[in-house]
Structure 1
């Protein structure tokens, strides 16, 4: 404690050093914050790059075949007209020259290539010749022109992970310029859509709304502090103090190259909510000490002495709760945990050093009037209410514990029934124009979900291997016709170009492959030893859900086992639906393990810190109750688990443990002063209750801003967080106080029993000694 008093004296005696250090750290943070990149709903946000599944997807599929297909949808009376096709060809030829474009597919390219084979001139021919080419093409270009009213241009782009945000935006802008350059005839609708445009729109919308949400969060927190923390001077000071910690966190985010996505953005209100409690605790205690008539220096040093360690313990335990998120296999969940851990440390440093420095200097320069220093023994009205609530629960402790246990058990059962949101498109606003365009394109062409069969062999162009690919694709279409909309491979195009038959020798097969457009051959063949079968499954991810997708993937694995490839040929299944199914499994199965890991870490930490079983159990047991209660909230609130709400257990651990530990620390401080557990708890509830309520209400009001987010994933997370904080406060002032009293009563009973046992043993030994001496 003497060291803490010296720390308090150092803080009060070195304001210039602290402020200069804070300013320098802020400037450095602002510099690195500008390097933060945005991240949309990409695969990398949900699947670990270290996993074997992703390695297969990334190194074998993406590196050799992977590309993002941006689409340009053209609609009108006759998209096969010469004028429209000429515009499409102009657009396609222009995009072929654009940097980072991997290839362009369109009906106009197909027609121009066919005309080149005949005349040596690559151009759009007469209408009669166009109709002839289309008639001979059969179904070869159905994926580009399903009817005369619709056609599309597929622009191959590198995957999002291989392009910087600036490169991707420049490429999308060039696509928009190319549409203007193409000069489509009047009366034809031209829509740019596809995953790259869709992801860019999400990032743009996030960037435009995140600032608004954070501003609303700050405004609502101001209201909360004015309502629930008005019994102290400078009641709004905790907010700029915690925002300073957030600025430092942004700097760390840029320095460590952590991207800003939906999950990492949602971490900031959590850091603000928990971090503001650190500032409030220091602020509330210094105000309490000053109200008792202590000098500014005494009040500051006593605040550091009695608050710094309890808040540090709360911080350490909260870090353990969020540390459990690092065990998740979902990268976005790991980033969420990292940001919370970094941010809370920054908020603590800001609250301890900057906050106390400002309070000390302010009180020193603007001392309180003597009348203002008078302090009521009853504390604030909120403190008095918390005290009466605690007294009520202590008197009816059996009913309180029974009800808490019953609801927790019911909640744990209900949690099993909570569904998981498997479609990432439901995380965003349904009226987002790019989403509407994407859905319209899917209505015309069918769903774009696809599973890839990666084929490796010494020579995949061997006629036997081509025959197997063709037969396996046909087999899937027959056996899984309810889910398989199309199965396409290089064999499909070779067969179509050879009059409906596969060639009987490798030389002829390679001649046909050489005659195919490079955009076609490169999409299904890499060299002569790697190929894919692209199985289109429509909108299966949306229609089937997680369990249905798992069954579908297993059925394809069974089909592969039944219809085995030729000797020497290796076939493996991959694709985004396979990856996302794994993600949803991780969210379903991993969240329970993460919560249990967090609870275990917290218990072990508290046991090491206090070396007291009761003190280690006291904060943990109420959190078990809250986690159970939240199961009821999720189920009856109609909420679903997402990559954000899957962090619910860690969130409860973080918020709940902080409130419980701060209550417990003050309880034992007062118990040492008064000796009676009930009196100590009443004083604790009165003195610290108002500060915890102010902190909790600031969090609740702040997280209320998340509910206003246009992104459903963030809005639902706001609801879940608000309810978590409400229940954490309720259990702290009800279940915790009961457990604290009952455990201390049991401790006293055990200590008395031990004392009686020692007395009895001493008495027996004394009598035995007398008998021995008497003999």
Structure 2
């Protein structure tokens, strides 16, 4: 590998114009393709498009029955006055004329319906006394429907229903149109309006994600500058790694657009991570050039030697880091796999940027400076990082107390691994959103008044207009509500038909068809599609908040058992699906798959190292300290009360990928120095003195880069930032504490083993002779 690296180094040294021209062309192309990146928050980011879960959700439920709503909340002292009801009627009439709007439900519509039955004129009464009389009648005859939109006389809602298949561009146009319609409806004083609901919340989340990513990159860059000035100022160009890594990030954006990798709530956190990891590559190359140049000779020779020695070592570290990210591909959640793919693309781009552009720029700038110094007679001063002697002394101290260090590290790791099994899992999706986001505050205000709207959806296929099928749906709904405390209500095609047929189900199929033909489309949309597909909706309130992910999963399993036990008519099939089923499955996959991803990462890294080094000791050494770090982090999360979420579930793979790099670079330099001396302690001292400052600098800049995530307004990203910062600190600590002990003990064990074999081989002839004489 060294010979190949030397040839590459000579090519880089000889072709700076070619390299910089290609880099410029790649940058221009990247800027072009970066503009094609799409932001995705749809179901495809959570569920594989070819999975049974997706097919059932998308084609059985979403395409036929899926609805979403823009909700207008009206509150105050005047929500039931004639003026307010007339404003509601103006609002609903305007919105029902908008494309894709399925219909609206409002208090005004209910009042006008009763008025039409009584007087033959469909209007909002001008008398408050008449309105109060109608509301009292509705409380007697249809209390559930009235309470759903008028829980008290100070609050009411107007849901504007839309199909879930609506194109995003159309949805983005309807939301401002709804806000405009509310303003034009001219609600009277004392009736305040808020446009809220999941659509309004989702729109604001997407805007916040875009702004957040820009801010995170800016903060990350500023923190990097501080870190480089603090710990990398012993080199000539201490801030050069930053533009080099940002060039790699630009190329990463370009590859995202070219490969059509979407940006999601999880993957947007990859960029500060890539800055933190990628800057390490630039630092390692620059630090080695500086070291080689200070030994004497030309900058060209220093550049060639750097590429020959560092390019293979950093490439191995990249492969190992990539193996950690590759383990994320085992996740069943597409956005986690996209996060892993984005990280893989990013570290490759940052490596190429550091190797070709970084080395070329340093070579050109130092050569120009050398020529000026030669003309002026100036002598280049040798520089050394002030942190170097501290690191060397610290490692020496650790090695003198290696038993206590290793014992404490192992014990804390084992305790942490056990504590990790008791770290809770955050399943409330709204906890992942900025808590001070106005639409979220409004959305929660809506929930506080009207309660949760979580549902379990059961799709019924077959001859759904047959009276026997309707009776089964009706009886099943009553059974589930009566037997499951968590199910608060059930509605279906059967309840819809009963409501329009005097409270009974017709005896003949033709009568059912006749009733359906008389029903308005808005009423039928959620319950029937043609004559072969219908839906049962089970109201489970605010299930995720009250039951948690495990409780919701248990309830879904119980409902599945009920469906099997409560035998349906011949020719009928039933499927449980819907938003709740999908989100519960996804949350479970995100949070419980972390152990599998971590174990896969361990196996991949060990296998790759074994393949590269063909040495069991070298394959195991870099993995052991990082495995300990995983245990330490489990203990910290348990003690501090942290929780796992969809992003922190990737923590194990991240620690393995990032932390192993420090150990590999240290090990590579140790064995490089060991080729020059037989004394393992001396080799370790030289290695830590040479590369320790660079590892510390890259570790600190990585920590600063990850710290930008803490500033994210998204709690999920912020907590991920906190945990990753602690993880990198522990990884850095393990590299200078646990790893040197393991490295030296392995060499001592090998030496004693070699001595024992040598002695045994020398004594063997004498033992054979003695045995022969006996």
TM-score category (smaller protein): over 0.9
Distance change in 2, residues 1:81/1:524 (3 Å)? farther
Q: In the TM superposition, what is the alpha-carbon distance from 1:594 to its structure 2 partner?
A: 0.7
Q: 2:495 — aligned with what?
A: 492
The correspondence of residues 237-248 of structure 1 with structure 2, limited to 5 A, is 237-248=240-251
Query: What is the alpha-carbon distance in structure 1 between the residues aligned to residue 46 and residue 711 of structure 2?
Result: 25
Q: Secondary structure at the match of 2:538?
A: strand
Query: What is the alpha-carbon distance in structure 2 between the residues aligned to residue 493 and residue 141 of structure 1?
Result: 16
Aligned match of 2:417 in 412, 436, 444? 412
Q: Secondary structure at the match of 2:661?
A: helix
Q: 2:628 — aligned with what?
A: 625
Query: What is the alpha-carbon distance in structure 2 between the residues aligned to residue 139 and residue 604 of structure 1?
Result: 62
Q: Secondary structure at the match of 2:525?
A: helix
Distance change in 2, residues 1:674/1:158 (3 Å)? farther
Q: 2:64 — aligned with what?
A: 64
- Is residue 216–residue 272 contact of structure 2 (8 Å, CA) maintained in 1? no
Aligned match of 1:649 in 634, 652, 673? 652
2:394 is aligned with 1:389: yes
Q: 1:687 — aligned with what?
A: 690
- Is residue 423–residue 644 contact of structure 2 (8 Å, CA) maintained in 1? yes
Q: In the TM superposition, what is the alpha-carbon distance from 1:120 to its structure 2 partner?
A: 8.6
The correspondence of residues 507-656 of structure 1 with structure 2, limited to 5 A, is 507-656=510-659
Q: In the TM superposition, what is the alpha-carbon distance from 1:724 to its structure 2 partner?
A: 0.7
Q: 2:441 — aligned with what?
A: 436
Q: Secondary structure at the match of 2:709?
A: helix
Deviation sequence 1:534-581 (CA, Å, 0-9, x none): 111111101211222222222222332333322322222122222222
Q: In the TM superposition, what is the alpha-carbon distance from 1:162 to its structure 2 partner?
A: 5.5
Aligned match of 1:472 in 471, 476, 480? 476
Query: What is the alpha-carbon distance in structure 2 between the residues aligned to residue 82 and residue 513 of structure 1?
Result: 33
Q: Any unmatched runs of 5+ in structure 2?
A: none
Deviation sequence 1:21-59 (CA, Å, 0-9, x none): 11111111111111222234x544333333322221111
2:406 is aligned with 1:401: yes
2:316 is aligned with 1:313: yes
2:104 is aligned with 1:101: no
2:426 is aligned with 1:421: yes
2:241 is aligned with 1:267: no
Aligned match of 2:171 in 168, 179, 186? 168
Q: Secondary structure at the match of 2:349?
A: helix
- Is residue 457–residue 536 contact of structure 2 (8 Å, CA) maintained in 1? yes
2:280 is aligned with 1:280: no
Deviation sequence 1:76-133 (CA, Å, 0-9, x none): 4353444333322332232223233343333444555677789997654665489549
Deviating more after overlay: 66-75 vs 138-147: 138-147
Deviation sequence 1:171-229 (CA, Å, 0-9, x none): 21111122122222232111111111111111111222221222111111100000011
Q: Secondary structure at the match of 1:202?
A: helix
Query: What is the alpha-carbon distance in structure 2 between the residues aligned to residue 576 and residue 431 of structure 1?
Result: 25
The correspondence of residues 96-495 of structure 1 with structure 2, limited to 5 A, is 96-110=96-110, 124=124, 128=130, 132=134, 135=138, 137-159=142-164, 163-164=167-168, 166-367=169-370, 373-375=380-382, 379-457=384-462, 459-481=463-485, 483-495=486-498
Query: What is the alpha-carbon distance in structure 2 between the residues aligned to residue 511 and residue 112 of structure 1?
Result: 25
Deviating more after overlay: 336-345 vs 749-758: 749-758
Query: What is the alpha-carbon distance in structure 2 between the residues aligned to residue 372 and residue 206 of structure 1?
Result: 52
- Is residue 292–residue 374 contact of structure 1 (8 Å, CA) maintained in 2? no
Distance change in 2, residues 1:750/1:389 (3 Å)? same
Deviation sequence 1:648-688 (CA, Å, 0-9, x none): 01110111111011001000000001221111001111110
Q: 1:11 — aligned with what?
A: 12
Query: What is the alpha-carbon distance in structure 2 between the residues aligned to residue 158 and residue 18 of structure 1?
Result: 52
Q: Secondary structure at the match of 2:526?
A: helix
Q: In the TM superposition, what is the alpha-carbon distance from 1:324 to its structure 2 partner?
A: 0.3
Aligned-pair Cα RMSD in Å: 2.4
Q: Secondary structure at the match of 1:597?
A: helix
The correspondence of residues 69-88 of structure 1 with structure 2, limited to 5 A, is 69-88=69-88
Distance change in 2, residues 1:640/1:608 (3 Å)? same
Query: What is the alpha-carbon distance in structure 2 between the residues aligned to residue 509 and residue 150 of structure 1?
Result: 37
Q: Secondary structure at the match of 2:65?
A: coil
The correspondence of residues 699-714 of structure 1 with structure 2, limited to 5 A, is 699-714=702-717
- Is residue 105–residue 519 contact of structure 1 (8 Å, CA) maintained in 2? no
- Is residue 82–residue 131 contact of structure 2 (8 Å, CA) maintained in 1? no
- Is residue 332–residue 643 contact of structure 1 (8 Å, CA) maintained in 2? no
Q: In the TM superposition, what is the alpha-carbon distance from 1:744 to its structure 2 partner?
A: 1.0
Distance change in 2, residues 1:277/1:254 (3 Å)? same
Distance change in 2, residues 1:82/1:426 (3 Å)? same
Q: Secondary structure at the match of 1:538?
A: coil
Distance change in 2, residues 1:35/1:112 (3 Å)? farther
Distance change in 2, residues 1:567/1:245 (3 Å)? same
Deviating more after overlay: 468-477 vs 17-26: 468-477
Q: Any unmatched runs of 5+ in structure 1?
A: none
Deviation sequence 1:702-754 (CA, Å, 0-9, x none): 22221121111011001111011000011111111011111111112222233
- Is residue 290–residue 373 contact of structure 1 (8 Å, CA) maintained in 2? no
Query: What is the alpha-carbon distance in structure 1 between the residues aligned to residue 749 and residue 43 of structure 2?
Result: 53
Deviating more after overlay: 226-235 vs 102-111: 102-111
Query: What is the alpha-carbon distance in structure 2 between the residues aligned to residue 187 and residue 55 of structure 1?
Result: 47
Deviating more after overlay: 385-394 vs 402-411: 385-394
Q: In the TM superposition, what is the alpha-carbon distance from 1:765 to its structure 2 partner?
A: 7.6
Query: What is the alpha-carbon distance in structure 2 between the residues aligned to residue 334 and residue 567 of structure 1?
Result: 42
- Is residue 140–residue 493 contact of structure 1 (8 Å, CA) maintained in 2? no
Query: What is the alpha-carbon distance in structure 1 between the residues aligned to residue 599 and residue 192 of structure 2?
Result: 55
Q: Secondary structure at the match of 2:335?
A: helix
- Is residue 327–residue 594 contact of structure 1 (8 Å, CA) maintained in 2? yes
Q: In the TM superposition, what is the alpha-carbon distance from 1:465 to its structure 2 partner?
A: 1.7
Distance change in 2, residues 1:129/1:272 (3 Å)? closer
Q: Secondary structure at the match of 1:64?
A: helix
- Is residue 248–residue 346 contact of structure 1 (8 Å, CA) maintained in 2? yes
Query: What is the alpha-carbon distance in structure 2 between the residues aligned to residue 157 and residue 8 of structure 1?
Result: 61
Q: In the TM superposition, what is the alpha-carbon distance from 1:358 to its structure 2 partner?
A: 0.6
- Is residue 696–residue 725 contact of structure 1 (8 Å, CA) maintained in 2? yes
- The normalised TM-score by structure 2 is 0.94
Q: Secondary structure at the match of 1:417?
A: coil
The number of equivalent residue pairs is 763
Query: What is the alpha-carbon distance in structure 2 between the residues aligned to residue 502 and residue 131 of structure 1?
Result: 31
Query: What is the alpha-carbon distance in structure 1 between the residues aligned to residue 527 and residue 154 of structure 2?
Result: 28
Q: In the TM superposition, what is the alpha-carbon distance from 1:237 to its structure 2 partner?
A: 0.4
Query: What is the alpha-carbon distance in structure 1 between the residues aligned to residue 10 and residue 118 of structure 2?
Result: 91
Query: What is the alpha-carbon distance in structure 2 between the residues aligned to residue 61 and residue 130 of structure 1?
Result: 39
- The normalised TM-score by structure 1 is 0.94
- Is residue 454–residue 573 contact of structure 1 (8 Å, CA) maintained in 2? yes
Q: 1:35 — aligned with what?
A: 36
Q: In the TM superposition, what is the alpha-carbon distance from 1:291 to its structure 2 partner?
A: 1.2
